[in-house]
């Protein structure tokens, strides 16, 4: 057991995969001597050398495109995209090549590539450093998408992701990088990568969240409990595919669901959750499925980001509206 930040947990998880599998490579901008701008790869180059921890030229399309070649050659590249807003130069490689290679090759070519992306707002950053682009990747068949919300998941999920034979986009909630928790680092992973987790049990309503918003949802559930409301919180963890049985079992029981995410709502992952619940659980629902999300604008200047991002009040407001419906 060790008390670590989420960033350190990722670092330890990466270290372990590199120790266990000599084919694992880390590549990206500033991942070497600097250890990444968030220090997630701190010390890895020193310990595993420049052949395995590669400071790449400054070109995201190049990072992912060469990772494809390395993967074809039998390596397991773990690519770091420095910030959410900088993944788009690599979008073509990810969507047209990474996502489709296994399908196109009739299963002959596996691409076990991990694409790590720090995402989301809340750190007062300048533009392009606070975005939540997960829906683009969830929308792309052939990609899997996961995100962690706490240090323990960070530690185990990154290892499970790297071990996975499919390309996986691994979103890291950057505003939670400095959150600390006790993490059991020995033994085996406490749960499969593709399982959603009931983060707090409850009976009256299900709050569905992931990544940075899990903490907000838990805080909201705790505040609601003081008013006698019993809220269940589900941490999705896997965003594509979603672990529907866990989500549906919960909502079937509570009859009410509120979905929370930082990303804009329009044609998004939260749309997907709402649509699915309506399709599958129409007769169990006591209220419309509500969503609390970022607004459908570009991420705003940091001095108004608190008004843009879902917070405790907005989540509780939606909880009340659902319970009153």
By C-alpha distance, which of 248, 277, 272, 247 is closest to 261? Answer: 272
Q: What track of x and - describes contact with ligand TPP for positions 63 through 102 (by CB under 6 A)?
A: -------------------x---x--x-------------
Q: Kindly state the helix (H) or strand (E) to which residue 314 belongs, with its residue range.
A: helix 312-324
State the CB neighbour count (10 A cutoff) for residue 67: 31
Report the distance separating Cα 67 and Cα 79, nearest Å: 7
| Residue 59 interacting partner from ligand TPP, other proteins, none (CB closer than 5 to 8 Å by kind) | other proteins
For other proteins, the closer CB: 47 or 184:
47
> What is the smallest separation between the CB atom of 58 and other proteins, expressed in angstroms?
4
The residues in 1-30 that bind other proteins, with binding defined as CB under 8 A, are 29-30
29 binds ligand TPP (CB under 6 A): yes
- Asked if 177 and 118 count as a contact pair (C-beta separation under 8 A), the reply is yes
Q: Is 129 a catalytic residue?
A: yes
Report the distance separating Cα 323 and Cα 320, nearest Å: 5
Cis upstream peptide for 241 (omega within 30°): yes
For ligand TPP, the closer CB: 86 or 295:
86
By C-alpha distance, which of 318, 119, 121, 324 is closest to 208? Answer: 318
Q: Kindly state the helix (H) or strand (E) to which residue 147 belongs, with its residue range.
A: strand 144-147
> What is the smallest separation between the CB atom of 62 and other proteins, expressed in angstroms?
7
Token pair in block for residue 38 = 């968030």
> What is the smallest separation between the CB atom of 32 and other proteins, expressed in angstroms?
7
> What is the smallest separation between the CB atom of 44 and ligand TPP, expressed in angstroms?
18
For other proteins, the closer CB: 226 or 279:
226
- Asked if 157 and 146 count as a contact pair (C-beta separation under 8 A), the reply is yes
33 binds ligand TPP (CB under 6 A): no
> What is the smallest separation between the CB atom of 34 and ligand TPP, expressed in angstroms?
10
The residues in 231-270 that bind other proteins, with binding defined as CB under 8 A, are 266
> What is the smallest separation between the CB atom of 125 and ligand TPP, expressed in angstroms?
11
SS3 231: strand
| Residue 316 interacting partner from other proteins, ligand TPP, none (CB closer than 5 to 8 Å by kind) | other proteins
> Which residue has the CB atom at the shortest distance from ligand TPP?
86
The residues in 257-296 that bind ligand TPP, with binding defined as CB under 6 A, are none
Length of the chain: 325
Antiparallel, parallel or unpaired: β 24-28 and 53-55: parallel
For other proteins, the closer CB: 54 or 146:
54
114 binds ligand TPP (CB under 6 A): no
Report the distance separating Cα 250 and Cα 324, nearest Å: 19
Q: What track of x and - describes contact with other proteins for positions 31 through 50 (by CB under 8 A)?
A: -xxxx-x------------x
- Asked if 163 and 170 count as a contact pair (C-beta separation under 8 A), the reply is no
Report the distance separating Cα 73 and Cα 267, nearest Å: 37
Token pair in block for residue 137 = 């990747």
Orientation of helix 151-163 relative to helix 6-20, angle to 10°:
30
For other proteins, the closer CB: 56 or 322:
56
- What residues contact 284, with CB distance under 8 A and at least 6 apart? 251, 252, 255
The residues in 47-66 that bind ligand TPP, with binding defined as CB under 6 A, are 58, 60
- Active-site residue list: 129
Binding site for other proteins (CB under 8 A): 29-30, 32-35, 37, 50-51, 55-59, 61-62, 85-86, 88-89, 124-128, 266, 295-298, 300-305, 307-308, 313-314, 316-317
Q: What are the residues binding ligand TPP (CB under 6 A)? A: 29, 58, 60, 82, 86, 89
């Amino acid at each position: 057991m060790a008390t670590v930040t989420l960033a350190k947990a990722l670092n330890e998880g990466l270290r372990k995969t590199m120790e266990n599998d000599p084919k694992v490579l880390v590549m990206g901008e500033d991942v070497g001597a600097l250890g990444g701008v968030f220090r997630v790869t701190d010390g890895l180059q020193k310990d595993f050398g420049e052949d395995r921890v590669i400071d790449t030229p400054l070109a995201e399309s190049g990072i992912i495109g060469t990772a494809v070649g390395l993967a074809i050659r039998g390596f397991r590249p773990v690519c770091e995209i420095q910030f959410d807003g900088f993944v788009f130069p690599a979008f073509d490689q990810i969507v047209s090549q990474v996502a489709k290679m296994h399908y196109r090759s009739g299963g002959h070519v596996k691409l076990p590539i991990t694409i790590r992306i720090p995402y989301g707002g809340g750190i007062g950053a300048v533009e392009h450093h606070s975005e939540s682009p997960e829906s683009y990747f969830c929308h792309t068949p052939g990609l899997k998408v996961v995100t962690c919300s706490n240090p323990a998941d960070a530690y185990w999920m990154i290892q499970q992701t790297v071990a996975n034979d499919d390309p996986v986009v691994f979103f890291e909630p950057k505003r939670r990088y400095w959150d600390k928790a006790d993490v059991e680092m020995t033994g085996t992973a406490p749960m499969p990568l593709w399982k959603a987790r009931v983060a707090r049990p409850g009976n009256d309503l299900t709050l569905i969240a992931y990544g940075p918003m899990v903490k907000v949802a838990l805080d909201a559930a705790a505040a609601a409990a003081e008013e006698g409301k019993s809220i269940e919180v589900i941490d999705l963890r896997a965003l594509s595919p979603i672990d529907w049985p866990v989500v549906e079992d919960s909502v079937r029981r509570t009859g009410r669901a509120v979905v929370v995410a930082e990303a804009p709502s329009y044609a998004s992952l939260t749309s997907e959750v709402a649509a699915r619940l309506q399709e599958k659980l129409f007769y169990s629902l006591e209220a419309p499925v509500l969503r609390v999300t970022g607004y459908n604008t570009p991420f705003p200047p940091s001095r108004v980001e608190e008004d843009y991002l879902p917070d405790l009040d907005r989540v509780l407001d939606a909880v009340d509206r659902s319970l009153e419906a």
